Amino acid sequence: MRLLAIVLLVALLANCNPSRSPSVETGGRITLTYWSATNAQELEFANQMAAEWNARHTEVQIKVEPVPSGQSTEEVILAAIASGTTPDIYASVFPGAMQDLLDAQGVVQLDAYADFFDVLHERMTPELLNQYRSSDGHYYQVPWKSNPIMVLYNTRMLREAGVSSFPTTYSEFRIDQWMLTIDYFPIWYKRLFDYLPLYLAASNGQTLLEGRQVRFDNESSVAIFRFLHECFARGYAPRQTFQGDVFLDGRVAARFVGPNSIGHLERYRTADFEYDYGPIPRPDDATGLPVSYADPKSIVIFKTCQHPREAWEFIKFIISKRHDLRLLELTSQLPIRARLLEDHTFADYFKRNPKLVKFAEQLATARSIESIAELKEIFDAIAQEVEASIVFDLKPPEQAVHDAARRSQQILDVQ
């Protein structure tokens, strides 16, 4: 039933989409269309990559376009698959949506290329790459970049509150004013940036699901719900929304963010505003290295591409060390590459940008997310229980976690 609903939805959206041709071949020259994310920094990176490639490869040219606007990028992509109007390459895929792309039979199997594993194992360990393997055992995405979630702190506020080091546990995470701002509205993707990193930190990287069985009805989830409930109950987190940037205004001491926050902070902070980053807080008895959510994005080739081998060559060009450095310099987003801090290619960059060092260290233990067709519905269930229990105190944390897990299992069992 759900697959039929997806097909009907994307077919409807496709009828609203302007037609476009995929790869074009004119006079013996191939032109590949490359969709980039819409933010200015990534578009600049894409345009630089295309210009450099085009200057060297007159027979294969790259045309850059921002992904078309829509209610969500995932819906835009599914609509394009349904109408056969996908680009050749898309470089900002949410790994959690990969199963939808596979169900729509929209993407090329990349591990069919003989050099796929050589290329990817040069970038990352087999264990890390395995997080991006699809349920059929194959690979359809190139893990590209990551924004590991950490805690952004107003260091002056902490210092004035008598806090000399960043909190690492729930019991340390408190001051006698607003400590943390959370966008608690029950929208599924918002929980990717508070509940999910907290869960990965509390459980030492345990996944939410095992196959099609829910795993998060456990003490780690209950501890998170209790912690966040206490933040709202004790006034550490405000139960209200704000105009403007409440963090840069100095009214809240902490936020959950990724390294792409640095550009915004540097652009808009006052000269005397002080900030730094710390790990996601964990239960007081936590052990091992801190884990967080990687917030990764991947690159895919669509099946409408008439020249997938040439597209694969361009992807390898994008993810070279030299261009990973360019990605860092232009976007402050981390390439998914092992031993980033040990590689002399990036040494000068991290020397000039010391705040990125903590994120690069976190990258080694940051996790991707499961890719199942029901992911949004499961996070919707979690988001509703977060609002009911944590914010409005309508049920105890144990019951809220159990209800979210039970509803999630029902969603999985129905399909």
Q: What is the pLDDT of residues 30-88, one digit of tens each?
A: 999 999 999 999 999 999 999 999 999 999 999 999 999 876 888 899 999 999 999 99
Say what the alpha-carbon torsion angle 103, 106, 111, 117 is, to the nearest 10 degrees: -100
123 Cβ contact partners less than 8 Å away, ≥ 6 residues apart: 143, 319, 335, 336, 337, 338
Among 26-40, 123-137, 191-205, the range scoring the smallest mean pLDDT is 26-40
Question: Residue 9: what pLDDT?
Answer: 42
Q: What CATH number has the domain spanning 2-146+295-363? A: 3.40.190.10
Residue range 82-93, pLDDT digits in tens: 999 999 999 999
Q: What mean pLDDT value characterizes the chain? A: 91
pLDDT band at 2 (very low <50, low <70, confident <90, very high): very low
Identify whether the C-beta of residue 368 lies closer than 8 Å to the C-beta of residue 131. Answer: yes
In terms of Cβ atoms closer than 10 Å to its own Cβ (0-12, 13-18, 19+), residue 251 is middle
Start-end of CATH 3.40.190.10 domains in the chain: 2-146+295-363, 150-293+374-414
pLDDT of residue 392: 92
Q: Sorting pLDDT into bands at 50, 70 and 90, what band is 27?
A: low
pLDDT-derived band of residue 243, with 50, 70 and 90 as boundaries?
Answer: confident
Between these two residues, 2 and 128, which has the higher pLDDT value?
A: 128
Average pLDDT of 182-199?
Answer: 94
Which pLDDT score is estimated for 73? Answer: 85
Provide the pLDDT confidence category of residue 16 given band limits of 50, 70 and 90: very low
CB 256 within 8 A of CB 148: no
The string of DSSP codes covering 224-237 is: HHHHHHHHHHTTSS
- CB 251, CB 242: distance < 8 Å: yes
Check whether 23 has a pLDDT greater than 70.
no
Residue 15 has pLDDT above 70, yes or no: no
- Which has the minimum average pLDDT: 115-129, 239-253, 314-328? 239-253
Q: Is residue 161's pLDDT more than 60?
A: yes
The pLDDT tens digits for 284-335 are 999 889 999 999 999 999 999 999 999 999 999 999 999 999 999 999 999 9
Q: With both helix axes pointing from N to C terminus, report the angle between 308-318 and 40-56 in degrees, rounded to the nearest 10.
A: 120
Per-residue pLDDT averaged across 356-376, rounded? 94
Q: What is the distance between the alpha carbons of residues 35 and 68, in angstroms, rounded to a whole number?
A: 9
**pLDDT given for residue 100 in this prediction:** 94
Question: Residue 11's pLDDT is what?
Answer: 41
Q: How far apart are CA 216 and CA 165, in angstroms?
A: 31
pLDDT at 244: 84
Percentage of residues of the chain with pLDDT beyond 70:
93
Close Cβ partners of 342 (under 8 Å, ≥ 6 residues apart): none
Residue in 280, 316, 287, 281 with CA at minimum distance from that of residue 301: 316
For domain 150-293+374-414, give the fold.
D-Maltodextrin-Binding Protein; domain 2 (3.40.190)
pLDDT of residue 20: 43
* pLDDT tens sequence across 136-157: 999 999 999 999 999 999 999 9
